[in-house]
Structure 1
Amino acid sequence: MTSTPAFSLCVYCGSRPGENPLYAEAARQVGQWIGAHGGQLVYGGGRSGLMGMVAEATRLAGGRVVGVIPQALVDKEQANHACDELHIVQTMHERKAMMAERSDAFIALPGGIGTFEELFEVWTWRQLGYHDKPIGLLNTAGYYDNLLTFLASSVQSGFMSDWQMGLIQSHADAAALLPGLVENAGTTSDAQPLRTVI
């Protein structure tokens, strides 16, 4: 691949593999897609769980890997020193800001509370106009079905709008979701990464 990635995709996902093997398969598919399309992965910098799987798959497919991890999690999440860039920061705020600044689009895979928090924060930033980058939710094996149902009920209850819901693209298939995210970010295989500072 060229020295300048075609696009930079931020992936939020679990530091655990989860019980369903389809979660690991989806993480590897995302990494393989990023690498095969000349992209760059920006992620939480760990080598355990889905985080490690998406990073390794990206690397093996020829993609570039940028990890950002707080010092307090270096041991717990097993910092991935195989990254092309590994940034060790002091706080979660620094981690999330750097990941967002280095990315053209965002996607959440299955994960736990950290994944939820990162997804909701970048979604909040989008609705407030702090960035205009696409956000995707990979609903592997129906993992996010209940969350999506709850969010729909929040719209019905008048606490959210259809416009806010429309800021997130959701799909069960990585191959169907990823091209649209990259296209909506305004990047192609020949494009320079967008740089929007939050």
Structure 2
Amino acid sequence: MKHIDIEITAESGLELLTNDEIARLSEDSKDGDHQLFKKCILAVLNSTHITDEISYHNEQLKHFDVEVLQLNKGVKLKIKNAPSTALVDGIMIQGLKEQVFSVLRDIVFLKQELESNARIDFNSSNGCTNAIFHILRNAKALRPGYDPNMVVCWGGHAIPEFEYQYSKEVGYRLGLRGFDIITGCGIGAMKGPMKGALIGHSKQRINNGRYIGITEPGIIAAESPNPIVNELIIMPDIEKRLEAFVRLGHCFVVFPGGVGTAEEILYILGILLHPDNKDTPFPLIFTGPKASAPYFERIDRFIGDTLGAEAQSKYQIIIDDPVGVAKAVQKGVADVREYRKKVHDAYHFNWQLKILWGFQEEFIPTHENMRQLNLSKDQPTHLLAANLRKAFSGIVSGNVKEKGIREVAKHGPYEIQGDSHIMEQMDALLEAFVIQKRMKLNAKDYVPCYKVVNTTKDRKPEVVK
């Protein structure tokens, strides 16, 4: 692949900064976050290259650099060795250019904003939600005065072509009905719904469709934003990313995926199982083509065996029926609108939903933290869901995130231990993901970054076979 040096000028907000703000922006881009800044921009520019191998990006990173230049009329970025696939006739693709400046906004400029705002507090539950609101507002993602129409689509990046096509068809049916799409911004079941909705919007002459991609620094290189994303938002960590989804979205559609999708499912179920959220309408739909029915049977069985029937009552499963999914979304969003209207909650941000600190605090998947997770039934069900979510989050880290990969390479696989029954169910689910090649894109060479340990109070741990 050829690499090219290029300079690009900021648009959409950053051109309105004062000279002092630009000077600080330039200086801050050179501090300890500079490497992170470079990695995220390189990930955006690599969006046409499909891979989840960190080594690919790290090799390019050795020769890649970005410099923030101060101009009286705004901000300019000087990019060294940009991938040529990000340019057409020597000019950067407009969508990628917008995403690059979203990185500048969320990684560098937002840091200034958060540090200078005494009201921002990531160390308390209410403070965390307020900070997420601030980040989304700063990204202009919050738009008061519009009826609910945001559909969050979750699913895996490492999926077969027929599942991708199905997610695209569902997105198309949603687009025809005027719904906008939020995903994790990567490929696979994140790109499919956006691409389908784009076609649906075009047919309905909707020219202001929103395709919001929400990511976080640890995962952006492994799941580069797909080119359809027209609003890229980079949250500080996975927990803030997940809360941003549930605060912004009005309905959730889950396609087949791997451990990352299981993490998202457990996160939302843990929140919905909290007593304070019992009566809150929250449409949650699992869907896939006919050939993927066994996947959802396995997920449903795992949820029933670990979290129980109440958790299973929080979602519906629709197989091989994109139109049925779109109509269920319509009904669900209508219910959300009526409820928000009744309780005087905002349409653009779900303040009403109760989210505990255990779902908000950043979980760092060290070997010790993974071993210490309470994966037993001697706790409220919503807290068990929160801890199971952390276990899956650790596996995601070991699979595709740079820190997690280094941790596993240094200390060996993560050990996950807990009640015998829960561990057996978890081991079966993870083994199914491996067999179905849902762990990574390069599935044939996949080496598990974890081992499931079966424990009881009366005997030493033993590895589940």
Whether TM exceeds 0.5 here: the answer is yes
CA contact (8 A) 1:31 1:58 kept: yes
Per-residue CA distance 1:115-156 (angstroms, 9 max, x = gap)? 11101111221121445311111143212122223444x28x
Q: Distance in 2 between matches of 1:52 and 1:110?
A: 13
Change (3 A) 1:193 1:39: farther
Question: Which residue in 2 is equivalent to 1:52?
Answer: 191
The number of residues matched between the two structures is 187
CA contact (8 A) 1:69 1:89 kept: yes
Q: Does 1:104 align with 2:104?
A: no
For 1:182, give the aligned amino acid: Q
Question: Which residue in 2 is equivalent to 1:164?
Answer: 311
Q: Distance in 1 between matches of 2:219 and 2:169?
A: 26
Question: Which residue in 2 is equivalent to 1:43?
Answer: 183
Q: Distance in 1 between matches of 2:335 and 2:301?
A: 31
TM superposition score normalised by structure 1: 0.81
Report the CA distance between 1:193 and its aligned residue: 4.5
Q: Distance in 2 between matches of 1:112 and 1:76?
A: 14
Question: Which residue in 1 is equivalent to 2:323?
Answer: 175
Question: Which residue in 2 is equivalent to 1:29?
Answer: 169
Root-mean-square deviation (CA, aligned residues, Å) is 2.7
Identical amino acids, percent of aligned pairs: 17
Question: Which residue in 2 is equivalent to 1:144?
Answer: 296
Alignment of 1:65-104 (within 5 A): 65-104=211-250
Q: Distance in 2 between matches of 1:137 and 1:56?
A: 19
Report the CA distance between 1:84 and its aligned residue: 2.6
TM superposition score normalised by structure 2: 0.37
Question: Which residue in 2 is equivalent to 1:64?
Answer: 210
Change (3 A) 1:178 1:166: farther
CA contact (8 A) 1:8 1:193 kept: no
Q: Distance in 1 between matches of 2:173 and 2:211?
A: 13
Q: Distance in 2 between matches of 1:26 and 1:136?
A: 14
Report the CA distance between 1:81 and its aligned residue: 4.8
Partner-residue secondary structure (3-state), 2:269: helix
Change (3 A) 1:124 1:51: same
CA contact (8 A) 1:108 1:137 kept: yes
Q: Does 1:134 align with 2:276?
A: no
For 1:101, give the aligned amino acid: R
Q: Distance in 1 between matches of 2:308 and 2:259?
A: 21
**Bigger mean CA offset, 107-116 vs 22-31:** 22-31
For 1:136, give the aligned amino acid: I
Per-residue CA distance 1:68-124 (angstroms, 9 max, x = gap)? 011222221112354231101220111111111110011110111011110111122
Partner-residue secondary structure (3-state), 2:334: coil
Question: Which residue in 2 is equivalent to 1:186?
Answer: 334
For 1:7, give the aligned amino acid: N
Question: Which residue in 2 is equivalent to 1:195?
Answer: 349
Question: Which residue in 1 is equivalent to 2:423?
Answer: none
CA contact (8 A) 2:283 2:333 kept: yes
The structure that has the greater radius of gyration is: 2
Q: Which has the higher helix share?
A: 2
CA contact (8 A) 1:23 1:50 kept: yes
Report the CA distance between 1:64 and its aligned residue: 1.9
For 1:10, give the aligned amino acid: V
Change (3 A) 1:89 1:164: closer
**Bigger mean CA offset, 95-104 vs 81-90:** 81-90
